[in-house]
Amino acid sequence: MFKAPRGLNDILPKDQPAWSYIETQSSATFESFGYRRIDTPVFEESGLYDRSVGQATDIVEKETYRFEDRSGDSMTLRPEGTAGVCRAYLEHGMRVLPQPVRLYSVRMPMFRYDRPQAGRQRQHHQIWAEAIGDAHASVDGEVVEMAWRLLERLGLRDLTLALNSIGDPVCRPDYVAALRGYYQPLLPKLCADCQRRFETNALRLLDCKKASCAPYAEQAPHSIDSLCGECGEHWRQLTQHLKAMGIEYTVKHRLVRGLDYYTRTVFEIVPPEEGAQSTLGGGGRYDGLIEQLGGRPTPGVGFAAGVERILLNLRRQGVAIPDGPSIDAVIVHLGADALTPALSLASDLRRKGLAVVVAPVGKSLKAQMRYAGSRSPSYTLILGEDEVREGAVAVNRMDTGDQQKVPFAQVAEVIST
Ligand code: HAM
């Protein structure tokens, strides 16, 4: 028997209402901020991720699903959404549109080869939003606020917003130099990954989850103390904006995020039960990314949240999720002569906008009634020999037990009310 590949999950019918709930709430929130939906392909040329996410990141180094297509080109299954959106922004000349261009999507599958565990899959899904083309801190504020309001609107409670600024190409080199200066004498005490990060990507030293490295990261110099004038002003405006919007944040000096494209603002939203795989969503500014992809310098800021992690936390917090779509009627039919009228009635009711299922053919009344019960319809419609002859159907209202005989032509009206 085949099984789904490790770390990839089916989204079963019973789970769909919760997924739809997250999607509709997300779309409504994003649209209320003026964002418009875009969907990009599920794989892209590998070079796109090497240049954006960064070759020295865990994602590109260890987690991408890379393959050669039949023409020998290297392709990568999308590990995240921002690179593809920036590629699309450039490819479709969105620079000529009023800026910033506000884009979002929901339930976008992402692929990262990692050790699966609760909250970590090899295929996960994101909801995300990006605002491209405006460098002002108010747009960072808008994105942070939107992420926060969305998680709040979904019903999640006791979340924490962690915020930091990691500067730009003007001030970051000085900060990285200070960081390396601080870590140099500590090198022999660091884990092997950190010793490597010291050479390849020193900022990521702050992000090490190992208990042996964490105390050093805690004592490390803070990036917000090294910001240049412009980055400092941007940070001041962002924090002012968040205060004005009543959004509480915690400055987390160790927050650098796992992708290379960030400049200035970085943020993450975490639930109360914190753990390595708990971050619900995160994002930040990426003012150098579009230029790195071959475009003119164009600022951008955005965020993404994992749908599976949102679901996990909705369940943990006992948030009530609205039920999925229900069936209006199940049609039970008795005898060979009742089948065609039953199918025609179903067809007619569906064209009138109702959800209708015909009970399995060739089963007893009892078995068909049992089936009807299992679908929890609002009505069960019973077609026996008498009814067929009379061109009518016995309409049973399931919540009250009321029963009445109704001519075919009036069934839709009766069960719609
Ligand atoms: P990210 O932090 O890599 O950011 O992923 C965003 C969210 O996706 C995470 O906070 C988490 O909820 C979820 N996630 C990531 N990996 C997994 C996994 N293996 N299993 C389950 N959930 C996962 C980005 O992807 C950036 N593109 C965000 C962004 C948008 N920055 C600017 N614009």
Same domain for 115 and 152, yes or no, is: yes
Of all residues in the chain, what percent carry a pLDDT higher than 90? Answer: 91
Of the residues 6, 52, 80, which should be mutated to test ligand 1's pocket, given the most ligand atoms within 8 Å of the CB? 80
Distance 142 CA to ligand 1 centre (A): 19
Residues 135, 287: contact at Cβ < 8 Å?
Answer: yes
Name residues contacting ligand 1 (CB within 6 A): 80-82, 112, 114, 119-121, 124, 126, 128, 130, 258-259, 279-284, 286, 302-306, 308-309
- Report how far apart, in Å, the C-alpha atoms of 138 and of each of 64, 161, 166, 196, 234 are: 34, 17, 17, 37, 9
Of the residues 57, 104, 124, 159, which should be mutated to test ligand 1's pocket, given the most ligand atoms within 8 Å of the CB? 124
Same domain for 294 and 366, yes or no, is: no
Asked, for residue 211, whether it belongs to a domain, the answer is: no
Asked, for residue 183, whether it belongs to a domain, the answer is: no
Tally of domains in the chain: 2
Same domain for 244 and 365, yes or no, is: no
pLDDT-based confidence at residue 127 (cuts at 50, 70, 90) = very high
In this prediction, residue 278 carries a pLDDT of: 86
In this structure, what CATH number is given to the domain that contains residue 355?
A: 3.40.50.800
Last residue of one domain, picked from the residues 249, 282, 316 = 316
Distance 224 CA to ligand 1 centre (A): 24
Distance 281 CA to ligand 1 centre (A): 6
Of 324, 375, 335, 330, the residue nearest 350 (C-alpha): 330
Tokens 């929890």 belong to 376
Residue nearest to atom 17 of ligand 1 (CA): 120
Range of the domain at 26: 13-171+227-316
Distance 291 CA to ligand 1 centre (A): 22
Same domain for 128 and 69, yes or no, is: yes
Asked, for residue 68, whether it belongs to a domain, the answer is: yes
Same domain for 305 and 338, yes or no, is: no
Q: Write out the E strands in 2-135.
A: 36-37, 43-45, 66-68, 74-77, 101-111, 123-132
Of 285, 306, 319, the residue nearest 136 (C-alpha): 285
Asked, for residue 213, whether it belongs to a domain, the answer is: no
Per DSSP, 81 falls in state S
Last residue of one domain, picked from the residues 292, 316, 340 = 316
What tokens does 138 get? 């108010």
Asked, for residue 374, whether it belongs to a domain, the answer is: yes
Q: Which tens digit of pLDDT belongs to each residue from 72-119? A: 999 999 999 999 999 999 999 999 999 999 999 999 999 999 999 989
Give the 3-state DSSP-derived string for 161-206, with helices as H, strands as E and coil as C.
Answer: EEEEECCCCCCHHHHHHHHHHHHHHHHHHCCHHHHHHHHHCHHHHH
C-alpha 6/C-alpha 49 separation (Å) is: 24
In this structure, what CATH number is given to the domain that contains residue 117?
A: 3.30.930.10
Asked, for residue 200, whether it belongs to a domain, the answer is: no
Higher pLDDT, 378 or 59: 378
pLDDT-based confidence at residue 276 (cuts at 50, 70, 90) = low
Last residue of one domain, picked from the residues 262, 286, 316 = 316
C-alpha 398/C-alpha 417 separation (Å) is: 14
Asked, for residue 295, whether it belongs to a domain, the answer is: yes
**Has this prediction a pTM greater than 0.85?**
yes
Per DSSP, 53 falls in state I
pLDDT-based confidence at residue 323 (cuts at 50, 70, 90) = confident
Q: Which amino acid type is present at position 75?
A: M
Written as one string, the DSSP assignment of 303-361 is: EEEEHHHHHHHHHHTT---------SEEEEE-SHHHHHHHHHHHHHHHHTT--EEEPPT
Same domain for 377 and 239, yes or no, is: no
Residue nearest to atom 25 of ligand 1 (CA): 80
Average pLDDT over residues 15-33: 97
C-alpha 190/C-alpha 204 separation (Å) is: 13
Partners of 269 in the beta sheet? 161, 281
Closest ligand 1 atom, residue 112 Cα? 19
Same domain for 121 and 147, yes or no, is: yes
Asked, for residue 1, whether it belongs to a domain, the answer is: no
Same domain for 355 and 309, yes or no, is: no
Average pLDDT over residues 21-49: 97
